Amino acid sequence: MIVNLFPSKVHRRIYLVLLTLLGGCMVTSIGMSNVMWVLLLANWVLEGRWTEKWQMARQSRLLHAVAALFALHLLGLLWTSNLPAGLHVVERLLPWLVVPLVVLTTQPLSGRARNTILSLYAATVVVVTVIGLVRWLTIPDLPYREIVPFISHIRFALNCCMVLFLCVGALHGIHGPGAAVKKAGVVAVMVWLVAFLLLLRSYTAFGVLVLASMVAALSLRRRWLWVMVWLLVAGGVAAYVVVQYRAYHELQPIASRTLPACTPSGNPYQHARDGLLENGNYVNNFLCYEELQQQWLRRSRVPLDSLTSSGYSVQASLIRYLNALGLPKDSAGVAALSDEQIAEVARGVPNPVYVHAPLPKRMLYVMFFELENYRCFRAVEGFSVLQRFELWQAAVHIIGRHPWSGVGTGDLDDAMEDDFRRTDSPLQESGLMPHNEYLTLIAQFGVPLFVLLVLVWLRATPRLRRQGSIFVAWVVAILASFLTENTLDSLAGILFCTWFMAFRRP
């Protein structure tokens, strides 16, 4: 029998402290996050009050939906052939069950406690963005995936989105003396967070913002006005993407020329004629490796065959850099580069757009180049967007072979690898999951059980509507992230999906 050592008020204060710390650790420390959710469970157990908690558990449809997903993973152990892997999946999902169990069977937070904890959480996220900016400014050639040192940049981007939603809610609640200054501060934070998301190159985050803002527009007063604003903004973004796409693919003069057999110096050109296009020029035409090597040695001490921080050779960066400027890949092209441009190539910059253009254009040009590589060579290595196409295709194949029961909780890794071999995919031995939570669940448990799970979650939806626009935006963020990520594969993702349940309205 568990003895309650402390009065209920003490347990309540411990709960508030642990909940606050868990929110901070969620974006700063995976190790401490594990400690916090275990302590949260221990405090909940020691508190007792089982009758009250049982009644709250019985009435919480959201908790029932959470438990259904966990139970589905337990059930999937019955037909998995890789039981150790299945048990590991269940172990990883323990916080998914524990955190909602604690917060949904504990009395809801008061308005003051809710605002204080969420403010501290938002402040922590902003501090981490400042740390990321300092790292980006002080560490040469820091990959965008490593700007945030504590958790995955994708998971952190979701938290930035959530803080943006909180800021929108805060704007509606600011009144009285000094309201204009406070609102200006909140708007400044919002602008900064959007800029930081551009720095992270998080396509998922911007997709989340688009979907969440659309749902929010439909739920606000003067719905027609906000929908019009949303359509204007979305239309402007779409127009920008179209303009950049056309600029990227518009053929430049050198691309339209008849392909000469030799360079001006008389050395033979190589023209691959493979159609790989970047900045309106064909990357693998007008190539003379001999002249590239000779002229590069005159301009730089960095070996042309050395690897850059991105994992690609300096030569590959040089070829793309010259191509982006519309220069031939020969001695004349290298000679035309400035010393600053030579230094950029030596650092591994493959396209001047990647360092000199506005961040939105950089993101789009990276995506366009990935699409070109996939179109020409089915290349996906190092291309996160295009890898998802291959991963989704493999997941669909698995579902087609196991539509009724799926492959079980622990067999998805093996099934993905088997499909990669069947289709001769470049992702063989990558160990990657589908990067789509919906496809993952269907592949693991089959279509009938997935449909049943969806019905259980839909049953909880009417009560979610009463939670307010911020809570709804959080749900939309989760559902949107499920389209391109396996959000539940990491503790940071699981906590993002569960921690905010503590802020439900009574």
Report the C-alpha gap between 453 and 138 in whole angstroms: 47
Residue 333 resides in a domain: yes
Residue 67 resides in a domain: no
Share of the chain above pLDDT 70, in %: 94
In this predicted model, what pLDDT tens digit does every residue of 65-97 receive, in sequence order? Answer: 999 999 999 999 999 999 999 999 999 999 999
pTM: 0.86
Burial class (CB within 10 angstroms; exposed 0-12, middle 13-18, buried 19+) of 464: middle
pLDDT band at 376 (very low <50, low <70, confident <90, very high): confident
Amino acid at 27: V
Q: Using alpha carbons, select from 51, 40, 52, 97 the residue that is nearest to residue 70.
A: 97
The dihedral over CA atoms of 361, 362, 365, 370, expressed in degrees to the nearest 10, equals -140
Handedness of CA 38, 43, 46, 47 (dihedral sign): negative
Domain of residue 263 covers 254-356
Q: Which residues pair with 101 in a beta bridge?
A: none
Residue 265 resides in a domain: yes
Report the C-alpha gap between 339 and 197 in whole angstroms: 31
Query: Per the structure, how many domains does the chain have?
Result: 1
Residue 263 resides in a domain: yes
Residue 211 resides in a domain: no
In this predicted model, what pLDDT tens digit does every residue of 197-255 receive, in sequence order? Answer: 988 888 788 888 887 777 766 666 666 777 787 788 888 888 999 999 999 999 888 77
pLDDT above 80: residue 285: yes
Residues in the chain: 506
pLDDT band at 1 (very low <50, low <70, confident <90, very high): very low
Residue 278 resides in a domain: yes
Quote the DSSP letter at residue 435: S
Q: In the prediction, which pLDDT does 430 show?
A: 80
For 401-415, give the secondary structure using H, E and C. Answer: HCCCCCCCCCCHHHH
pLDDT band at 412 (very low <50, low <70, confident <90, very high): very high
CA separation, residue 391 to residues 379, 432, 484 (Å): 13, 8, 10
Burial class (CB within 10 angstroms; exposed 0-12, middle 13-18, buried 19+) of 39: middle
274 within 8 A of 378, measured Cβ to Cβ: no
Residue 396, Ramachandran bin (φ over 0: left; ψ between -120 and 50: alpha; else beta): alpha
Q: In the prediction, which pLDDT does 506 show?
A: 65
What is the pLDDT averaged over residues 332-353?
A: 92
Residue 448 resides in a domain: no
